Amino acid sequence: MSNEIIFDAIEKLFNDISTKINRGGFSISLDELYSRYNDALNKIILDEQRRENCKYISGEFKISCAGNEKYQCSYELYFEDAGESFHVLRAQSELLDIGGLTEDFQAELKRERVLKFEIEEP
Protein backbone atom coordinates (compact mmCIF):
# COMPACT_ATOMS: atom_id res chain seq x y z
CA MET A 1 0.00 0.00 0.00
CA SER A 2 1.51 3.36 -0.98
CA ASN A 3 2.15 6.11 1.54
CA GLU A 4 -0.29 8.39 -0.30
CA ILE A 5 -3.11 5.86 0.13
CA ILE A 6 -2.24 5.41 3.81
CA PHE A 7 -2.12 9.17 4.42
CA ASP A 8 -5.49 9.55 2.65
CA ALA A 9 -6.95 6.80 4.87
CA ILE A 10 -5.60 8.51 8.00
CA GLU A 11 -7.02 11.87 6.95
CA LYS A 12 -10.38 10.25 6.18
CA LEU A 13 -10.46 8.62 9.63
CA PHE A 14 -9.64 11.96 11.23
CA ASN A 15 -12.37 13.78 9.31
CA ASP A 16 -14.91 11.00 10.02
CA ILE A 17 -14.39 11.49 13.76
CA SER A 18 -14.64 15.25 13.37
CA THR A 19 -17.85 15.00 11.37
CA LYS A 20 -19.48 12.69 13.94
CA ILE A 21 -18.55 15.09 16.73
CA ASN A 22 -19.81 18.08 14.73
CA ARG A 23 -23.16 16.41 13.97
CA GLY A 24 -23.71 14.88 17.38
CA GLY A 25 -26.48 17.28 18.34
CA PHE A 26 -24.95 17.82 21.78
CA SER A 27 -22.09 19.79 23.27
CA ILE A 28 -18.80 18.00 23.78
CA SER A 29 -16.28 18.75 26.51
CA LEU A 30 -12.53 19.04 26.04
CA ASP A 31 -12.03 15.71 27.83
CA GLU A 32 -14.56 13.94 25.59
CA LEU A 33 -13.07 15.38 22.39
CA TYR A 34 -9.54 14.48 23.41
CA SER A 35 -10.60 10.95 24.40
CA ARG A 36 -12.25 10.29 21.03
CA TYR A 37 -9.22 11.46 19.08
CA ASN A 38 -6.78 9.75 21.46
CA ASP A 39 -8.41 6.36 20.79
CA ALA A 40 -8.07 6.88 17.02
CA LEU A 41 -4.50 8.17 17.32
CA ASN A 42 -3.49 5.13 19.39
CA LYS A 43 -4.81 2.90 16.59
CA ILE A 44 -2.91 4.92 13.96
CA ILE A 45 0.32 4.67 15.98
CA LEU A 46 0.02 0.91 16.49
CA ASP A 47 -0.88 0.32 12.82
CA GLU A 48 2.06 2.41 11.61
CA GLN A 49 4.50 0.62 13.92
CA ARG A 50 3.36 -2.76 12.58
CA ARG A 51 3.20 -1.67 8.94
CA GLU A 52 6.56 0.12 8.80
CA ASN A 53 8.39 -1.80 11.55
CA CYS A 54 9.23 1.48 13.26
CA LYS A 55 9.16 2.96 16.73
CA TYR A 56 6.85 5.76 17.84
CA ILE A 57 8.94 8.68 19.15
CA SER A 58 6.49 11.46 19.99
CA GLY A 59 3.48 13.34 18.78
CA GLU A 60 1.22 16.29 19.33
CA PHE A 61 -2.53 16.80 19.07
CA LYS A 62 -3.76 20.38 18.61
CA ILE A 63 -7.14 22.03 18.79
CA SER A 64 -6.98 25.44 17.11
CA CYS A 65 -9.47 28.27 17.05
CA ALA A 66 -10.25 29.38 13.48
CA GLY A 67 -12.04 32.67 13.94
CA ASN A 68 -14.85 32.97 16.48
CA GLU A 69 -17.17 30.33 15.03
CA LYS A 70 -14.91 27.48 13.91
CA TYR A 71 -12.12 25.27 15.21
CA GLN A 72 -9.86 22.61 13.76
CA CYS A 73 -8.06 19.56 15.16
CA SER A 74 -4.70 18.34 13.90
CA TYR A 75 -1.92 15.97 14.83
CA GLU A 76 1.69 15.14 14.04
CA LEU A 77 3.16 11.73 14.91
CA TYR A 78 6.92 11.08 14.71
CA PHE A 79 8.42 7.64 14.06
CA GLU A 80 11.94 6.24 13.73
CA ASP A 81 12.83 3.15 11.70
CA ALA A 82 15.65 0.64 12.25
CA GLY A 83 17.97 2.73 10.04
CA GLU A 84 17.39 5.71 12.35
CA SER A 85 15.43 7.57 9.68
CA PHE A 86 12.46 9.61 10.83
CA HIS A 87 9.07 10.04 9.23
CA VAL A 88 5.98 12.00 10.22
CA LEU A 89 2.27 11.28 9.91
CA ARG A 90 0.09 14.37 10.04
CA ALA A 91 -3.49 15.29 9.30
CA GLN A 92 -6.06 17.91 10.16
CA SER A 93 -9.81 17.91 10.40
CA GLU A 94 -12.16 20.02 8.39
CA LEU A 95 -13.29 23.26 10.03
CA LEU A 96 -15.84 22.44 12.73
CA ASP A 97 -18.58 24.52 14.34
CA ILE A 98 -17.47 25.79 17.74
CA GLY A 99 -21.12 25.68 18.86
CA GLY A 100 -20.75 21.91 19.26
CA LEU A 101 -18.41 22.46 22.22
CA THR A 102 -19.43 23.07 25.83
CA GLU A 103 -19.43 26.70 26.94
CA ASP A 104 -16.37 26.15 29.16
CA PHE A 105 -14.49 24.49 26.30
CA GLN A 106 -15.44 27.31 23.89
CA ALA A 107 -14.25 29.94 26.36
CA GLU A 108 -10.92 28.17 26.95
CA LEU A 109 -10.31 27.67 23.24
CA LYS A 110 -11.14 31.29 22.39
CA ARG A 111 -8.88 32.51 25.21
CA GLU A 112 -5.91 30.22 24.43
CA ARG A 113 -6.44 30.07 20.61
CA VAL A 114 -4.48 26.77 20.43
CA LEU A 115 -4.59 23.85 22.88
CA LYS A 116 -1.70 21.38 22.54
CA PHE A 117 -1.44 17.86 23.96
CA GLU A 118 1.48 15.46 23.87
CA ILE A 119 0.51 12.04 22.57
CA GLU A 120 1.93 9.25 24.69
CA GLU A 121 2.92 5.87 23.27
CA PRO A 122 -0.06 3.50 23.42
Q: pLDDT for 56-104, tens place per residue?
A: 999 999 999 998 899 999 999 999 998 889 999 998 888 888 988 999 9
What confidence score (pLDDT) does residue 3 get? 53
Is pLDDT above 50 for 52? Answer: yes
What confidence score (pLDDT) does residue 39 get? 86
Q: What is the mean pLDDT of residues 48-53?
A: 92
Q: What is the mean pLDDT of residues 32-36?
A: 86
CA distance 122 to 115: 21
CA distance 43 to 89: 13
Q: What is the mean pLDDT of residues 1-18?
A: 59
